[in-house]
Amino acid sequence: MWQPECFKRDMIGQLRAVQVLKLGKSKAGLVHSTYGFNCMKFLSKAMAITWKDVLSEARSKETIPSVLIFAVLVIVIFNFAFGAGPEQMKLIVPGILWTTFVFAGMLSLNRTFVQEKEQGCLEALIICPIKRHDIYICKTLGNFIFLTVIEAISLPVFVVLFNLPLSVLPMLIVITIMATIGFIAIGTLFSALSVNTKAREMVLPILFLPVVVPVILSAVEASKLVLAGGSWSSIASWLQIIAAFDVIFLVVSYLIFEYVIEE
């Protein structure tokens, strides 16, 4: 079991960093050089942060259950709000699915850095001997795991509640995973940004929603085709567009993340 060890090692790293802060800046270089850089070490350090997020979520059960309940509630409310017959419902279902995922994603993204900020953990992360943009990778990975768990549970619920054929599941899963990468890539950046503003929960949707419109649009269109009985080749062009946005969002956020969290 390598993760708990890693976690421990990371905590020691953080402690040392704090000690260095007390001793003064001149010795900071020393600690950095003793760590050196090699791939395995980076990987274990990076995974430690993701593991920390997963572990704290597994113990506190703060985010996933509440977001999950929220997702189901959104599905139920939309069902009543539209109240359409089965035929019209087929046209609306992709929209409901993606509205649910976007709202759920936003809720879970809002939490990621709020927790860090409240416990003063963000400062510890920043002084941690790890590059800033590597923190981005770790947090993105953590967010991706959370949202995937939420989607993995709500997607079957969705399929059952709206009487969708089971054969659409594989294609929906692929679309969902690809679109989730896009959400999370840009969402983690804006989540780190909004946590340092006065009205945290208000700022994230205002920044996040317009930017992810192309991803939502493509995902909705692809889902529509799937529900209309489309094949893999018919949704390929939409998947390409989503993939392009995933790459753009990941690269841009990776490059500018360090400016967002500096103290």
Q: Where do contacts with other proteins occur on this chain (CB under 8 A)?
A: 186, 189, 193, 196-199, 202-203, 206-207, 209-211, 213-214, 217, 241, 248-249, 252, 256, 259-260, 262
Which of 90, 130, 94, 109 lies closest to 218, judged by CA?
94
Nearer to other proteins, 155 or 193 (CB): 193
- Pick between residue 168 and residue 252 the one whose CB is nearest to other proteins: 252
User: Of 150 and 185, which CB lies nearer to other proteins in the complex structure?
Assistant: 185
Q: How far is the CB of 222 from other proteins (least distance, A)?
A: 13
Q: How far is the CB of 16 from other proteins (least distance, A)?
A: 28
Residue 245: CB minimum distance to other proteins, A: 8
C-alpha–C-alpha distance, residues 119 and 195, integer Å: 13
* Cβ neighbours for 7, distance < 8 A, ≥ 6 positions apart: 48, 51, 52, 55
DSSP letter, residue 167 = G
Query: Residues with Cβ < 8 Å from 145, sequence gap 6 or more?
Result: 50, 53, 54
Rounded (10°) angle between helices 169-194 and 132-161: 140
Angle CA 181–37–190, to nearest 5:
30
- Rg of the chain over Cα atoms, rounded to whole angstroms, equals 20
**3 state SS of 85:** coil
Query: Quick one: 6 or 189, whose CB is closer to other proteins?
Result: 189
Q: Which residue lies nearer to other proteins by CB, 41 or 200?
A: 200
Q: Write down the least CB distance from residue 199 to other proteins, Å.
A: 6
Min CB(210)–other proteins separation in Å:
4
